[in-house]
């Protein structure tokens, strides 16, 4: 009977450890930039291809306005989440920082960020942990070698990441679907 209880406890412990390691690995990026992983193209927990409703629930802007780029029609998050809108631009206000997004058929297709106050820089980290005003060396360490000098570009088959450097600091970035 004692062997059976010991075996049960060991089985539960093994299952717990397996689940803990599996769950912890989902939120951390791999050691090398993966240009085909859509989560690599995001900031503050939101990423390209994500449903706009889910993204808004994560980023919680203090204000958000969405407008179709052609018809100038206003859109709500709920309408976009249902797949409405072919080319909708959104301006999200996160305290005093503006984050621009483009939504196509309910999913984020572009994320743009610049003009962040230095004291707010750590709030806007990419999936790999790059913050606004990090150095060009930190960019290279986290993302590898990109093309360009003042505008460093990383490309996958479906997505592109652009980072703007000024005085060897990241001062803006943009993630786009192709």
Instruction: Give the whole-angstrom CA distance, residue 27 versus residue 57.
Output: 17
- Residue-wise pLDDT for 35-82, tens only, equals 999 999 999 999 999 999 999 999 999 999 999 999 999 999 999 999
Q: What is the pLDDT of residue 57?
A: 97
- Residue-wise pLDDT for 86-109, tens only, equals 899 999 999 899 999 999 999 999
Q: What is the pLDDT of residue 6?
A: 54
Q: What is the pLDDT of residue 1?
A: 54
Say if CB 153 and CB 88 are below 8 A apart: no
Q: What is the pLDDT of residue 13?
A: 39
- Residue-wise pLDDT for 21-35, tens only, equals 444 334 556 678 999
At residue 177, does pLDDT exceed 90?
yes
At residue 132, does pLDDT exceed 90?
yes
Say if CB 109 and CB 103 are below 8 A apart: yes
Q: What is the pLDDT of residue 31?
A: 79
Q: What is the pLDDT of residue 28?
A: 59
At residue 126, does pLDDT exceed 60?
yes
- Residue-wise pLDDT for 110-119, tens only, equals 999 999 999 9
At residue 144, does pLDDT exceed 50?
yes
């Amino acid at each position: 009977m004692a062997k059976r209880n010991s075996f049960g406890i060991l089985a539960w412990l093994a299952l717990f450890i397996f689940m803990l390691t599996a769950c912890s690995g989902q939120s951390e990026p791999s050691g090398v930039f993966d240009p085909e992983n859509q989560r690599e193209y995001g900031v503050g927990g939101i990423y390209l291809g994500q449903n706009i409703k889910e993204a808004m629930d994560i980023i919680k802007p203090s204000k958000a306005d969405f407008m179709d780029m052609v018809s100038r029609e206003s859109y709500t998050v709920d309408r976009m989440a249902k797949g409405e809108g072919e080319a909708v631009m959104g301006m999200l206000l996160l305290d005093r920082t503006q984050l621009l997004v483009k939504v196509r058929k309910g999913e984020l297709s572009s994320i743009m960020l610049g003009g962040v106050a230095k004291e707010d820089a750590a709030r806007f980290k990419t999936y790999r942990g790059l913050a606004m005003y990090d150095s060009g060396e930190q960019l290279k360490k986290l993302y590898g070698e990109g093309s360009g000098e003042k505008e460093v570009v990383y490309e996958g088959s479906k997505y592109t990441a652009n980072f703007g450097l000024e005085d060897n600091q990241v001062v803006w970035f943009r993630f786009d679907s192709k």
